Amino acid sequence: MKQQFLKLAVVSAIACSVGVSASATADAVDTAAIVGDQASTGDIVSYGLGPRGQRYSPLSAINKETIKNLFPVWSFSFGGEKQRGQESQPLVKDGVMYVTGSYSRMWAIDIATGEELWQYDARLPEGILPCCDVVNRGAAILGDKVFFGTLDAKIVALDAKTGKVVWRKKIADFEAGYSYTAAPLIVPTEAHGPLILTGNSGGEFGVVGQVDARNPDTGDLVWSRPVIEGHMGTLNGEESTMTGTANESWPGDMWKNGGGATWLGGTYDADSKLAYFGTGNPAPWNSYLRPGDNKWTSSRVAINPENGEIEWGFQTTPHDGWDYDGVNEFVTFDMEKDGKVIKAGATADRNGFFYVLDRTNGDFVSAVPFVKNITWAKGIDENGRPIFDPENRPGDPAESADGKKGKSIFAVPSFLGGKNWMPMAYSQDTKHFYIPSNEWGMDIWNEPVTYKKGAAYLGAGFTIKPIFDDYIGSLKAIDPASGETKWEYKNKAPLWGGVLTTAGGLVFTGTPEGFLKAFDDETGEELWKFQTGTGIVSSPVTWEQDGEQWLAIVAGWGGAVPLWGGEVAKFVSHLNQGGSVWTFKIPKQLAAK
Amino acid sequence: MRKFWLLPIKLSMLLVLTTATGNAAALPEDPLNSVMWENMAQRFFPGEVVIDQRVVVLSPHEAEDQMQVPVTVDATQLENVVEIVALADLNPIPHILTVKPLQAQAFVGFRVKLEQSTPIRVGVLTSDGVWHVNGVIVNAAGGGCSAPASAHGTSNWYKTLGQARGLARRDGTDAARLSLRMRHPMDTGLAPGIPVFYMNKLLVKSADGVDLADVELFEPISENPTLTLKPLVSNEAEDLLVYARDTEGNEFEFALEVPAMADN
């Protein structure tokens, strides 16, 4: 027995010393590494492969020619009975993958072997109120810590080596309906050093959207910025400024539970030095209870990270009545048009329009529909404001005979959006955006509602319907300069996963049917697919390790579609849950040929 | 769960490798006749080990409740105590707690969950590097560590998390007897579907911030941890500060007043 024990001890001693030497030579992640993440292909230290969120990699070893030789390396199970939706984007640093999963869990995995280094399970209270599945979209990394948000609306800093909690702070009160699912955003500032920015979730519970900035070392709050007019921000522990002007675009005290949840997190542009957050739907859904534009709901706001002030806002759906929850990511890029370079940003809104804005001041540049048969608006005017179709706003319940149900209308897109949370990608080679979208509409009607803490605050009923018999999902390549759709890939089930594009001329995305697919970035031709065994609703990543290009995707069907899907159920009800991460590369013997 | 206790085990194996290979042969026979003795000694008591009756370990011979088994450790007959380590040999996670009585008597009382009948073993490290070991056998019904905490019957356990009841009295002229109980589920991670979640640190400080006793707690400590410590105090009335932290980073602080000698 003694001998056996000593062998064991020697083995673990070797393992430990290898780990130590690896960490001694590695550079810790700083904000320069985060801002420069897109160009440094050896790691992934931000959500979006760079905080601009372009999801473009300059790697090209896996390309249109070699992709036929792409094979899985390992699959890692998240285990347990807690499967459900897996929407996470992995991070990679020094040969270690940090990946989050459903029910506020996180793993560190040795990429070379696929073996677990540690697991962290948040101890969630029983009463959490996530509206749209128990998902998490990813982590942030800085120095010796990794960070992620939990479903009880907290942010946790873990020791990257051990997975032990360093600090844990409350973002908001989960009993009021708040939760947290987005990846935190780390930005540099001159005034405070690095800051970690979070939004909040809870759009169906009458919460107030807010962006908080914390010190990554301690978790202490540096500033906070509610996005709804009339609410007061803070800076360095004191009240700073009010957001907008109270009651300018809200009646009475409706702004107090006005919604605008910043539930998808943000992007950051090192050129404009602004953090861009999308804001969700106004609450309640019944728009007759809140006449006015209801700022800043269904908007993009640009926040100065130095002080938490809103530099500009652009409202995609003023006075929203359809849950066109405008959180979708604002991806910055330089756009050549008519011989000029515009410092641009683009966003594909829930409302079905693809907008290009000036990222420095929010000025409207252009908008084109990216889904078919939009009914709620006839178009977007020259100022970027929708031209509403009054026939297609759900009716006022007060005008019905019994006052209990307003006139039902059919609106396209559905409230799950022309595009939902799943991030698009921008290729620096083709200059196209690749947008994961869905073609669906909804019957929607309004009902009376009053606010009650922790209860759904909708005032609407709805059911989603596909527009076409044979498909809902639609991956589109759109030229932002011309607004033209260059190609389209149709998928039977609604697309709910993010997109990645590479200098290898490839566009990757996953499908609820379980396939990770690769398309030709110029033609949309499907070049490769792999069945992961469960639906994909997450964002693929790629990086270089030991001279080889790797690809990873998290698999596990879930998210909002199976929970809210209405008639869509027949497209998705047969899909099975899971929870795993898959990695791929081209085997050495094939790469050499 | 597995990984949360494998890591400390690996680290302690390394210590064994460097310090214990030479004198492992000198390990005395286990008076409790446990199959785990050699393993426990190598993992937790690196260095010279002696069986020492001056380490008094009190616990019921038959546990009434395997979720809450009271244990008292009194090593005050030893001088220069650096550390007290308590183990339950046959628990899936043996390590119960480690106490550093920095400015306190070598004494600790606690309650522990037992998975089955097991030796409760205590090693007391003195500043000369010797582990003084003693223990008792407790007979217990099964399942103490792998059953859910009773907090799981309630939906709002987090509202009372860390709530404390405590009492500080004088114990002789220079020490206080500090007894406290804090609300915490102390989840081991072994009950199906319930992640590990326990109070892992407790510090007793003097009013001016000097650490008097440093306690590391592990998963086997009973739900709503109950502890008795004997920090050293002056003759005057003074506040003792208690600071605790759990594996989720929740922090708890409170003060208990020790009465003046004259008022006791």
Judge whether residue B5 has pLDDT over 60.
Answer: no
pLDDT attached to residue A445: 93
Judge whether residue B22 has pLDDT over 50.
Answer: no
Query: Do A538 and A553 form a contact (C-beta atoms < 8 A)?
Result: yes
pLDDT attached to residue B193: 81
**What does the pLDDT look like over A190-246, one tens digit per residue?**
999 999 999 999 877 878 999 999 999 999 999 999 999 999 999 999 999 999 999
pLDDT attached to residue A593: 57
Query: Do A514 and A521 form a contact (C-beta atoms < 8 A)?
Result: no
Is the reported ipTM for this assembly greater than 0.90?
no
Residues of A in contact with B249 (CB under 8 A): 156-157, 165-168
Interface-testing mutation among B1, B2, B3, with chain A (most A C-beta atoms within 10 A): B3
Average pLDDT on A323-331 reads: 95
Alpha-carbon distance B176 to B98, whole Å? 20
pLDDT attached to residue B20: 42
Interface-testing mutation among B1, B2, B5, B10, with chain A (most A C-beta atoms within 10 A): B10
- Cα angle value A266/A170/A581 (rounded, 5°): 55
| Model confidence band, residue B222 (pLDDT cutoffs 50, 70, 90) | very high
Tell me the two tokens of residue B204.
């007793």
Query: Do A52 and A37 form a contact (C-beta atoms < 8 A)?
Result: no
CA distance to partner chain A, nearest, from residue B146 (Å): 16
**What does the pLDDT look like over A252-284, one tens digit per residue?**
999 999 999 999 999 999 999 999 999 999 999
Alpha-carbon distance A17 to A23, whole Å? 10
Residues of B in contact with A78 (CB under 8 A): none
Tell me the residue ranges of DSSP E strands in B75-129.
81-88, 95-100, 104-112, 118-126
Judge whether residue B12 has pLDDT over 60.
Answer: no
Tell me the two tokens of residue B118.
């097991």
Partner-chain contact B3 A8, CB within 8 Å:
no
| Model confidence band, residue A51 (pLDDT cutoffs 50, 70, 90) | very high
pLDDT attached to residue A26: 57
| Model confidence band, residue B7 (pLDDT cutoffs 50, 70, 90) | very low
DSSP assignment of A228-239, as one string?
STTPEEEETTEE
Hey, what amino acid is at A413?
P
Query: Do A294 and A231 form a contact (C-beta atoms < 8 A)?
Result: no
Helix axes B2-19, A2-25, angle to 10 degrees: 100
Residues of A in contact with B197 (CB under 8 A): 123
Q: How far is CA B45 from CA B14, B124, B131, in A?
A: 13, 9, 6
Q: How far is CA A500 from CA A89, A534, B256, in A?
A: 11, 19, 58
| Model confidence band, residue B264 (pLDDT cutoffs 50, 70, 90) | low
What is the distance, to the nearest Å, from the Cα of residue B35 to the centroid of all Cα atoms in its chain? 22
**Pseudo-torsion of CA A215, A219, A221, A225, nearest 10°?**
90
pLDDT attached to residue B134: 98
Average pLDDT on A65-85 reads: 92
**What does the pLDDT look like over A487-524, one tens digit per residue?**
999 999 999 999 999 999 999 999 999 999 999 999 99
Least confident of A60-74, A425-439, B156-170: B156-170
Judge whether residue A457 has pLDDT over 70.
Answer: yes
The helix (H) or strand (E) run that includes residue B70 is strand B69-74
Query: Do B142 and B115 form a contact (C-beta atoms < 8 A)?
Result: yes
Average pLDDT on A106-132 reads: 91
Residue B42, chain A, CB below 8 Å: the answer is yes
Average pLDDT, chain A: 92
Query: Do A168 and A212 form a contact (C-beta atoms < 8 A)?
Result: no
Domains assigned to chain B: 2-263 (2.60.40.10)
Alpha-carbon distance A286 to A321, whole Å? 6
Tell me the two tokens of residue A121.
């399970």
pLDDT attached to residue B23: 47
Partner-chain contact B195 A123, CB within 8 Å:
yes
Round to the nearest angstrom and report the end-to-end CA distance of chain A. 50
Percent of chain A scored above 70 by pLDDT? Answer: 95
Interface-testing mutation among A121, A126, A175, with chain B (most B C-beta atoms within 10 A): A121
Judge whether residue A46 has pLDDT over 90.
Answer: yes
> Which residues make Cβ contacts (< 8 Å) with residue A236, sequence separation at least 6?
A222, A223
pLDDT attached to residue A5: 37
Query: Do A328 and A347 form a contact (C-beta atoms < 8 A)?
Result: yes
| Model confidence band, residue A404 (pLDDT cutoffs 50, 70, 90) | confident
Q: How far is CA A315 from CA A205, A380, B137, in A?
A: 21, 12, 71
Alpha-carbon distance B175 to B230, whole Å? 6
| Model confidence band, residue B13 (pLDDT cutoffs 50, 70, 90) | very low
Tell me the two tokens of residue A472.
């809902």
The single residue of A323, A325, A349, A521 carrying the catalytic annotation is: A323
The β-bridge partners of A150 are A154
Least confident of A345-359, A545-559, B132-146: B132-146
| Model confidence band, residue B25 (pLDDT cutoffs 50, 70, 90) | low
The domain locations on chain A are 27-591
pLDDT attached to residue A23: 39
Partner-chain contact B24 A165, CB within 8 Å:
no
Q: How far is CA A34 from CA A53, A569, B20, B168, in A?
A: 12, 40, 45, 51
Alpha-carbon distance A522 to A505, whole Å? 8
pLDDT attached to residue B156: 81
pTM value is: 0.87
Task: Report strand pairing: A364-369 vs A353-358.
Answer: antiparallel
Judge whether residue A24 has pLDDT over 80.
Answer: no
A271 flagged as catalytic = no
Three-state DSSP class for A427?
Answer: coil
**What does the pLDDT look like over A528-581, one tens digit per residue?**
999 999 999 999 999 999 999 999 999 999 988 887 777 888 888 889 899 999
The residue of chain B with its CA nearest to that of A104 is B195
Residues of B in contact with A126 (CB under 8 A): 155
Tell me the residue ranges of DSSP E strands in A493-572.
499-502, 506-510, 515-520, 526-531, 541-545, 548-555
Average pLDDT on B18-25 reads: 45
Q: How far is CA A506 from CA A69, A519, A525, A585, B25, in A?
A: 14, 6, 10, 14, 64
B1 compared with A465, residue with greater pLDDT: A465
Three-state DSSP class for A15?
Answer: helix
The residue of chain B with its CA nearest to that of A125 is B158
DSSP assignment of A258-325, as one string?
-B---TT-EEEETTTTEEEEEE--BSSS-GGGS-S--TTSSEEEEEETTTTEEEEEEESSTT-SS---
Kindly provide the b/e burial profile for residues A462-488, where b requires at least 16 CB atoms within 10 angstroms of the residue's own CB: bbbebbeeebbbbbbbbebbeeebbbb
Round to the nearest angstrom and report the end-to-end CA distance of chain B. 46
The β-bridge partners of A214 are A196, A221
pLDDT attached to residue B173: 82
| Model confidence band, residue A75 (pLDDT cutoffs 50, 70, 90) | very high
pLDDT attached to residue A83: 81
Q: Which residue, A419, A579, A436, A430, is CA-closest to A517? A: A436
Looking up tokens 């011309």, which residue turns up?
A482
Average pLDDT on A304-319 reads: 98
Alpha-carbon distance A315 to A297, whole Å? 7
Average pLDDT on A438-452 reads: 91
Average pLDDT, chain B: 89
The residue of chain B with its CA nearest to that of A15 is B10
**What does the pLDDT look like over B106-130, one tens digit per residue?**
999 999 999 999 999 999 999 999 9
Hey, what amino acid is at A486?
K
Average pLDDT on A30-35 reads: 97
Judge whether residue B188 has pLDDT over 70.
Answer: yes
CATH code for the domain defined by A27-591: 2.140.10.10
Judge whether residue B21 has pLDDT over 70.
Answer: no
Q: How many CB pairs under 8 A join A and B?
A: 60
Which of A2, A13, A122 minimises the CB distance to B195? Answer: A122
